[in-house]
Amino acid sequence: MSALDRFRLRIAEFNVENLFVLLDHYQGQDLERISEDQWQALTISTTGNKPLAHVRSLAGIFDEIDADIYMLCEVGGRESLENFNKHFLGDRYKVHLIEGNSDRGIDLGYLARKTLPFKYDLISHKHRSIDFLYPHERLTEETGSADRVSRRVASHRFSRDVLELRVFEDGARTPALVAMLAHLKSPLDKDRIDPCGRDRRRAELEKLVKIYREIDRDLGGRVPILVAGDFNGSAAKERTDAEFEAIYRDTELLDALALAGVQEPERYTFMQIGRGGSRNRQIDYVFVPPQLRGRVVREETFVYRYKDAWGFVAPPPRTLGEKKLLPSDHYPVVVTFDGLTLAADDGPAGEGDAVKNGSRSIRR
C-alpha cells in the first residue's frame, strides 16, 4: 500500500501577491509588536516588505487551511519564503523554490509539511523556449533585417516559470505524485504589442501542456500529475478563453472545483475592479488528471474566502480601496484527495529529508 493511500492529502494553490519578507536588519525584534514602519525598516531592498498586517493575516489563513502542500505564486524569492515559514508558520514546512524569470522578483514556490513521509525533487523549466515571437520579431526574422538584439531572440521563455515538484515515497525511484505550478503571462501590455497579453499567454499555456504530456509519457502514464497556478484568464471548461483551448484539446485534465461540484459563480478567485465596476473571475486553477478524479473530496474542495474581524465570510471588495485591505488580491483554491492510488516502484528516492507520521484527519 502506498503511503499516500493512508492520507487525505490537502493541496492549496495560492497567489500570495508580492510576498516579500526580507529581514536584513532583523535582530530578534518581536514581530508581533513592531509597527509597520519598524517592519519596513528591516529590509534594505528597494522593494518593500509586504505589509505586516497582511503577512500576519496570511499566516492565519495558512493555519486555517492547514494544507499538506502549498503551491504559491508571487513569492519574493527563497529568502522571503523561508522567513515567512520560520517566523510566521512555526517552521512547519520544507521550502522549495527556484528563482524564475520574473522581472518583478515574484517567484513560484512550494511549502511541504515536514511531517509528510516523502522526499522531493524540484525541477525548473524557466530555460525552456515557448516557441513564440511577437509579430514584429517574426517579421525581422523573415526579412533578415533584425538588429543585433532581435537576432538574439530565437524565442521567448516563460514570463515566470513552470516549477515541477516530484514527490517520492521512501525508497522509490518513480515519483508518487508530480505537481506542476505555473503563473502565466499577465494581461499587462506596456509595450502595446500584444493586447491583454493573449498571444504570449497562449504560447506559455501550450508549452505548459507540452511539458505535461512529455512528463506523462516519460512516466508511462502511471503517475498522477497535477497542473495548477494563476492562469490570468478563464480556463474553465464552461467558458474557456481562446488561449487555453489546448487544455481540453490535448489533455484530459479537469478543474478540481468543477469535479467537486462547486457551482461556477462560487469558483471566483479574483475580483477585477475597473471603471465599469467590479466583476468576479476564476483565474486560479488546480487541474486534476484522470487517475485522481475519483479521489477528490467534494466537501473539502473549495475556494477559501477571507473573514472579517468577527470571523464571518467577508463580502467581495467593490472598490480598489476595499481590495487593498485584503491579504492578497487572489483567493486560495483548496483541494483535498482521499488518498492516491499509485504504481509501485523501487530504487533510489528523490533528494530531501522525510519524517514518517501517521494518518491524520483534514478539517475544513
Find the domain containing 308 and state its range. 3-26+39-338
Q: Is the pLDDT of residue 230 over 80?
A: yes
- Does 359 reside within a domain? no
Per-residue model confidence as pLDDT tens digits over 10-67: 999 999 999 999 999 999 999 999 999 999 999 999 999 999 999 999 999 999 999 9
Instruction: Give domain status of residue 360, yes or no.
Output: no
Domain count, the chain: 1
- CB atoms under 10 Å from CB of 99, counted, come to 15
Question: Which tens digits make up the pLDDT trace of 276-293?
Answer: 777 889 999 999 999 999
pLDDT for 145 beyond 60: no
Distance of CA 152 to the CA centre of its chain: 30
Domain assignment present for 257:
yes
Has residue 112 been placed in a domain? yes
* Alpha-carbon dihedral 138, 183, 300, 340, rounded to 10 degrees: 70
> Does the residue 343 lie in any domain?
no
Tell me the DSSP string of 102-140.
Answer: -TT--EEEEEEETTSSEEEEEEE-TT-B-----HHHHHH
172 falls within a domain: yes
What is the tens place of the pLDDT at every residue in 233-282? Answer: 999 999 999 999 999 999 999 999 999 999 999 999 999 887 777 788 99
Say which CATH number the domain at 88 has. 3.60.10.10
Pairing of strands 177-183, 225-230: parallel
DSSP 183-230: EPPPS--TTSSSGGGHHHHHHHHHHHHHHHHHHHHHTTT-S-EEEEEE
Supply the pTM of this predicted model.
Answer: 0.89
Closest CA to 209 of 246, 180, 240, 234: 246
Asked, for residue 305, whether it belongs to a domain, the answer is yes
Three-state secondary-structure class, residue 8: strand
Strongest mean pLDDT among 85-89, 151-155, 309-313:
85-89
Q: The C-alpha cell of 48 is what?
A: 518593500
pLDDT at 148: 43
Residue 364 forms part of a structural domain: no
